[in-house]
Structure 1
Amino acid sequence: MVDHSGLRDLVSRTAQDRGWCEPRWFETTREDAGTGVTALALRDHPRLVLACGGDGTVNAVAAGLAHTGVAMGIVPIGTGNLVAQNLGIGSGVRDAVTSAFDGADRRVDMGLLDGRPFVGMGGIGLDAEMVRDTSPGMKRLLGWPAYLPAVLRGLRSGASRVRVRLDDGHWLTRRVLGAVVGNVGALQGGVSLLPEADPADGLLDLALLHDVNARGWLVTAGRLIGSRRVDGPAVERFRFRRLELRSSRTKPFEVDGEVCGTTRSLKVEVNPAALVVKMPA
């Protein structure tokens, strides 16, 4: 981990070594997580914008860069760095900065959840309850096991009856604890929830977390411990371009690790090839 002043020095040296001009820095605030300052940065017609932070910062900067063609580099120094992890950008700050300057440009998709852009994942129900009820400190200390108390509370909160329609197909009815949509597939700690997810395939992935009996959850937990993959009777997966979901109960929902409120319905769609990201060469 590099402190704030150390990060600035590192980026400046890296730019200088490559013959680039001195980078300009824009601070995020409570009121502006990054989209507004990204718009300011774009006035200078940059070749590269670095998102230095966690998933919330990456989300906001990506929203500002979508369809501009300007590349985004990610320096993962936040509590949650799910997008960087899934894109192969390691947690080492120096390596991430090097990748941002020297890496390959890759066009990736984004998603829109009720009009809110996301790069990684979003969800309703159990997924959002886990995000809401797990402290950043515990996530840093324990990794994915930190979510287990929130999972147990979520299981006790009860399931909802949901109707789901994918790509204008027939409505499906399920009894679920939650639903997760993803442009990427791995959760914190490298746990695989959506193993077919590819951020550049023009599709999004859906996992429905079923309300199963204790034996079903034990099977799922056993596979999680054994293979770091969420699998078994508790999970049903789909792939889609557009999704509508309607729930019998009001539940919290989240986008890229930020709880946005509560709802009983969602509309999700892919925004294909929206973003250019610098990836490790």
Structure 2
Amino acid sequence: MTRQQHRGVSDRARHWWARAAFVFAACAAVVPALSAGIMGALALLIVGVGGVVVTVAALYTFFTRMGLLRWLALAGACLSPVIVVILFMRAHLLWVVLVSCALALLALSCARTALHRSGSDTAMPEYSVPPPQRPFLIMNPHSGGGKVAKFDLVRKAEELGAEVALLEGPDNIDVNALARRAVARGADLLGVAGGDGTQALVAAVAVEHELPFLVISAGTRNHFAMDLGLDRADPTRSLEALRDGVELRVDLGAINGRPFVNNASFGVYAEVVRSPAYRDDKAATVLALLPDLLTGHSGPKLVARIGEAAVDGPQAILVSNNPYGSSDLAGLSRRARLDRGVLGVVTLSVANAREAVGLLRRTRLHGLSQQAAVELVVDADTPEIPVGVDGESLLLRTPVRCTIEPGALRVRVPRTRPGVRPAAPELDLARLWQITHRSAPASK
């Protein structure tokens, strides 16, 4: 089958998936009306929406208040959906709600299938390269709960001809200097088995000396490895790049000159990560600090300058090396590509429960800003502000300048790897409607 024929089949399939989405959505709306009548369907809608609003408002109160009110709000958030279900059961309409919800989920699934972009839109170009002759790898034996020892990475890397340095001993080992000494001895590839923060520091040395960089997925979360399409469950597969690898040219972020591979965060999250208690008990620290941070009673007042625009007083700012998906406000999901040459910038401001509900429903977008930029400047009313850079807490002088270096990093990856799972497409009803009428819709 030719590429053009394959594209035609794909477009026709998207055409019918889009139509199915609207059919299922219509059925989800019609079923309650047929089963309970117009007034009954309206009552179902009021009760359901009311339950969601009460739950969201109660959760916001829980996160922003202290003392007895906090725990009463939590109780309300737990009881609200239970009460809604009991009301539906007493009216003998629970089955109607379940069927309608199932149809709505089917509609959403069909819509996302129809709107999904082809793999060519998300795949980064690969470049064939010869194997390295003198690879140098830095491994943190404590990272990821001891994955270096668990997967016997040192021995396997040395069998492939790599020199390995373990980060053992003092906590203040200078990985930057360690990488530079390896380059001076003739290393022709630098790699890291460790956290994303260590990855970024060594990546900067690789960029400076125009050397390829190897990511070994031995960290805890491995966000960078995930967006490179590496196997996060088995870090030994990353070592295959030393024998049969290809190169990806990816961007590298910088914050006041310090590199980052994933993201830098300001405001709420940065203040939480800064707390000494955070590493010992993350959940308790978040619950203890979040009320003051969200209601603006602590932390510096921030100003984000994105080009000619300015966002005054956001509670949180997330800057990422290439944008995350439009539905991901916390940088916990995926980036479709790492070579678009732009930063992803998200600013968030929530002052009360009504605004929290509005943001959840995307009806009050003035509290949320999502855009791409080549530069961001964050200023504050203090000379220094805490910043979370690839999960590590730093204290940086203001103003803080975030930039991106397009295609700066030559990342060596295995030729055969799981690949990047495409991000879920944004639910664009106008585009979905166009697809239903056109067998070969134009991509945006």
SS at structure 2 position matched to 1:59: helix
SS at structure 2 position matched to 1:60: helix
Aligned pair count reads 258
- Matched with 2:392 is 258
- Matched with 2:312 is 174
In 1: Cα distance, 2:373 partner to 2:324 partner: 18
1:144-159 pair list within 5 angstroms: 149=287, 151=290, 154-158=293-297
> 1:243 Cα deviation (Å)?
1.8
In 1: Cα distance, 2:284 partner to 2:340 partner: 32
Contact 1:126 1:155 in 2 (8 A): yes
Percent same amino acid among aligned pairs?
Answer: 23
> 1:121 Cα deviation (Å)?
0.8
Could you tell me which amino acid in structure 2 is paired with residue 256 of structure 1?
Answer: D
SS at structure 2 position matched to 1:245: strand
- Matched with 2:155 is 9
Q: 2:184 is matched with which residue: 19, 38, 43? A: 43
Contact 1:216 1:232 in 2 (8 A): no
Question: CA-atom RMSD, angstroms?
Answer: 3.4
TM-score normalised by length of structure 2: 0.50
1:69 is aligned to 2:203: no
- Matched with 1:118 is 260
> 1:39 Cα deviation (Å)?
0.7
- Matched with 1:226 is none
If each structure's strand is expressed as a fraction of its own residues, which one has the higher value?
1
TM-score normalised by length of structure 1: 0.76
1:90-169 pair list within 5 angstroms: 90-91=231-232, 92-99=234-241, 101-133=243-275, 135-136=278-279, 149=287, 151=290, 154-158=293-297, 161-166=301-306, 169=307
1:244 is aligned to 2:340: no
Contact 1:56 1:258 in 2 (8 A): yes
Q: Which runs of 5+ in 2 are unaligned?
A: 1-146, 416-444
Q: Which runs of 5+ in 1 are unaligned?
A: 16-21, 140-144, 224-230
Relative contact order, CA 8 A, sep 6+: which one is greater? 1
> 1:157 Cα deviation (Å)?
4.9
> 1:183 Cα deviation (Å)?
0.5
Q: Which has the larger radius of gyration?
A: 2
In 1: Cα distance, 2:284 partner to 2:322 partner: 21
Q: 1:205 is matched with which residue: 324, 341, 344? A: 344
Q: 27-36 or 154-163: which moved more?
A: 154-163
Contact 1:50 1:100 in 2 (8 A): no
In 2: Cα distance, 1:200 partner to 1:69 partner: 17
Q: 4-13 or 192-201: which moved more?
A: 192-201
